[in-house]
Amino acid sequence: MMWGVKLRGLVLGIYNILIFIFLISPLVIVVLVSLNDTQYISFPLKKLTLQWYKTIPEYMEFVDAFMVSIWLALLTAICSTTLGTMAAFAIVRGRFPGRDMISTLIMSPLTLPGVITGIAMLQFYTWISIGPSLGRLVLGHTVITIPYVVRSVSAVLYGFPLSLEEAGMNLGANRLRTTFLITFPLIRSGLLAGAIFSFIVSFDNVVISIFLVSPLYNTLPITIFNYVTYSAEPIIASISTLQMLMIILLMVILEKVMGFSKYM
Amino acid sequence: MKFQMPWRQHPVVYLLFPAGVVLLIFFFFPIFFLLLLSLRKYVIGSIPSGLTLANFFHFFSDPFYLDVLLSTLKLGVLVTCITLVLGYPVAYFLVRTRLPFKNWLRMAVISPLLVSVVIRTYGWLILLSDRGLVNQMLTGLGIVEQPVKMLFTYNGVLIGLVHVFLPLMILSLVGVIENINPSLEDAAENLGANWIQRFLWITLPLSLPGIIAGSLLVFSLSIAAYVTPQLLGGPSLLLLSTMVFQQIMVVLDWGFGAAIAVILLVMTLMIIFIYTRILNLGKRWEV
């Protein structure tokens, strides 16, 4: 009996390790290729090098795309955090008919596949003649990231003791002062989680961006996507590795702010 | 009933407007516009007025397009089944393990979700190529003599999609398995059930809502996935999503492209409808 249990535990453990290897292997291989001195990788690695990282500045399209992506992700995070936080307040605090339906509608950009949303936006923008610009990318990304903010902000708002706000108001602060001095500091973690999540989603997005970009406003993932289609230069691996490092850094911040697994 | 101060009641509702207006104009209206466009025959240079189902007839009367539809659905079913079978033991392990760093284990499994799909797929491009690591291992171990062609094949896309959606499936399963009271399993064991019986009669039925919800989620997302099929399938492998892109961006037949997108949309909405019905059923059972 005991042996059976132990054996089962062992098998389950080994199985999980194998799945874990499967999950991280494509990420690890990208990092390895970025450090390898030849384009084709064979084990054991012969020589590790940082040469690909040094040549990144020569690839202007990647540098430009990185800047576009950073601006895009920042603006998206600002817009969706503002709009999403306001909506979350209304949904959590408001009492009005059709509240459940409205919160479902607000979350719906999350459930529709990106291809559909992307082409719908492209056709709409073309129809109302909004040409390729950073603005239409920001709008597109804001729409799909609002649900993340609503989710993380309402999570903290639900557990928020209203008595603290009442105390502030009783002490003579007006509603605006109370909101900024009491409410926001207390729900800061939800706000920050929503903002960082929006930033990551926007920075990683391909499927909406691919319909809205133009040669002048190309994002980093789209540039990588176009490159990968035609070549396998290790330069892409080094750029991808840097992008992963940035996302990991943001994730660690998010985990420090509050257990991020709550929001997945 | 809780007493509510009047100032808290009213104005807060108006905070919904900014997000509501943005979503209405830049999300819901474009979707509606897509529906409208799919009902119009597109001629380069102008869109004739009048609604028609011609685009849909064109799609459903051509065996070529039906074939694409079928292989898309088949891919969705395969991805769903494989992620379910692979993911269930992992989800079970993540919930029941007594190892330290439980949260870190969970994070490690979920973390690929946060890396851009392009980068994950690029990793598979390297791994699956004819001279890639997988082929090196297979030939090195003597399992195959010639490198197996995996890149730009249906199976390559399948591997990539399983990788993309496995964390999502695990996440849905963890949600329900967490709510299963371990004492129910202990009780079954005390009553003499072996672990297979315990699994089949206790754990599996209790995790059914999560299995169904996770499967529907993965299915609806995988039939519409674009990046992975495009990169790992190459230009010749057509699925609904890659065909939408082709029609819109290359062929420039916007009406037909919109019609294919609407077919995808309708399938997704049907799945979401079933999904919410099942979640509601689950809620009723809990009471």
Global pTM reads 0.89
Q: What are phi and psi of B63, to 5 degrees?
A: -55, -30
Which tokens is B141 given?
Answer: 């171990």
Close Cβ partners of A85 (under 8 Å, ≥ 6 residues apart): A149, A153, A191, A194
Q: Quick count: other Cβ atoms within 10 Å of Cβ A186?
A: 15
Between residues A119 and B193, which one has the greater pLDDT?
A119
Q: What are phi and psi of B77, to 5 degrees?
A: -65, -45
Say how far apart CA A152 and CA B188 lie, in whole Å. Answer: 39
Question: Nearest residue on chain B to A230, judged by CA atoms?
Answer: B231
Q: Which of B23, B127, B221 sits opposite A113 (nearest CB)?
A: B221
Using the beta-carbon criterion (under 8 Å), do B116 and A261 form an inter-chain contact? no
Q: Comparing B55-59, B92-96, B137-141, B156-160, which segment has the lowest mean pLDDT?
A: B137-141
Angle value at C-alpha B33, between A84 and A138, nearest 5 degrees? 35
CA A191 to chain centre: 14
Task: Say whether the ipTM exceeds 0.85.
Answer: yes
Q: Is the pLDDT at B35 greater than 60, yes or no? A: yes
Which amino acid is located at A70 in the chain?
Answer: I
CB-side exposure of B213: number of CA atoms within 13 Å? 22
pLDDT digits (tens, 9 = 90+) for A28-56: 999 998 888 876 666 567 778 888 888 88
A233 interfacial to chain B (CB closer than 8 Å): no
Distances (CA, A) of B199 to A12, A42, B179, B208: 14, 43, 15, 12
Write down the pLDDT at residue A42. 62
Nearest CA of chain A to the CA of B62: how many Å?
Answer: 22
A138 interfacial to chain B (CB closer than 8 Å): no
Q: What percent of chain A has pLDDT over 70?
A: 94
Return the bridge partners of B43, or none. Answer: B46
Domain residue limits, chain B: 58-286
Distances (CA, A) of A151 to A100, A198, A264: 14, 11, 10
Return the bridge partners of A48, or none. Answer: A36
Fold of domain B58-286? MetI-like fold (1.10.3720)
Say how far apart CA A102 and CA A114 lie, in whole Å. Answer: 21
Q: What are phi and psi of B39, to 5 degrees?
A: -95, 15
| Chain A residues touching residue B260 (CB < 8 angstroms) | none
| Chain A residues touching residue B258 (CB < 8 angstroms) | 119, 123
Residues B106/A259, Cβ–Cβ less than 8 Å: no
Using the beta-carbon criterion (under 8 Å), do A117 and B31 form an inter-chain contact? yes
Write down the pLDDT at residue B282. 61
Q: Quick count: other Cβ atoms within 10 Å of Cβ B30?
A: 24
Close Cβ partners of A261 (under 8 Å, ≥ 6 residues apart): B103, B106, B107, B110
Q: Residues in chain B, how many?
A: 287
Which tokens is A130 given?
Answer: 């909004």
DSSP state of A48: B
Mean pLDDT, residues B124-128: 90
Indicate the SS3 state at residue B143. Answer: coil
Q: Is the pLDDT at A19 greater than 70, yes or no? A: yes
Return the bridge partners of B46, or none. Answer: B43
Q: Is the pLDDT at A17 greater than 70, yes or no? A: yes
Write down the pLDDT at residue A262. 52
Using the beta-carbon criterion (under 8 Å), do B20 and A87 form an inter-chain contact? yes
Q: Is the pLDDT at B242 greater than 60, yes or no? A: yes
Q: How many helices (H) and strands (E) does chain A have?
A: 13, 0
Say how far apart CA A70 and CA A53 lie, in whole Å. Answer: 19
Q: What are phi and psi of A76, to 5 degrees?
A: -60, -45
- Structural domains in chain A plus CATH codes: 1-49 (no CATH), 54-263 (1.10.3720.10)
Write down the pLDDT at residue A39. 66
Query: Residue B141 — left, alpha, or beta (φ > 0 → left; ψ -120 to 50 → alpha)?
Result: alpha
A230 interfacial to chain B (CB closer than 8 Å): no
Q: Which of B8, B19, B254 sits opposite A123 (nearest CB)?
A: B254
Confidence band for B287, pLDDT divided at 50, 70 and 90: very low
Q: What are phi and psi of B123, to 5 degrees?
A: -55, -45
Write down the pLDDT at residue B149. 87
Q: Is the pLDDT at A264 greater than 50, yes or no? A: no
The overall average pLDDT reported for chain A is: 87
Q: Comparing A15-24, A114-123, B21-30, B33-42, which segment has the lowest mean pLDDT?
A: B33-42
Say how far apart CA B58 and CA B65 lie, in whole Å. Answer: 9
Indicate the SS3 state at residue A94. Answer: coil
| Chain B residues touching residue A39 (CB < 8 angstroms) | none
Write down the pLDDT at residue B6. 47
Indicate the SS3 state at residue B129. Answer: coil
Write down the pLDDT at residue B47. 59
Using the beta-carbon criterion (under 8 Å), do A12 and B37 form an inter-chain contact? no
Say how far apart CA B253 and CA B247 lie, in whole Å. Answer: 5
The string of DSSP letters for B226-285 reads -HHHHHHHTTT---HHHHHHIIIIII--HHHHHHHHHHHHHHHHHHHHHHHHHHHHHHHH
Confidence band for A182, pLDDT divided at 50, 70 and 90: confident
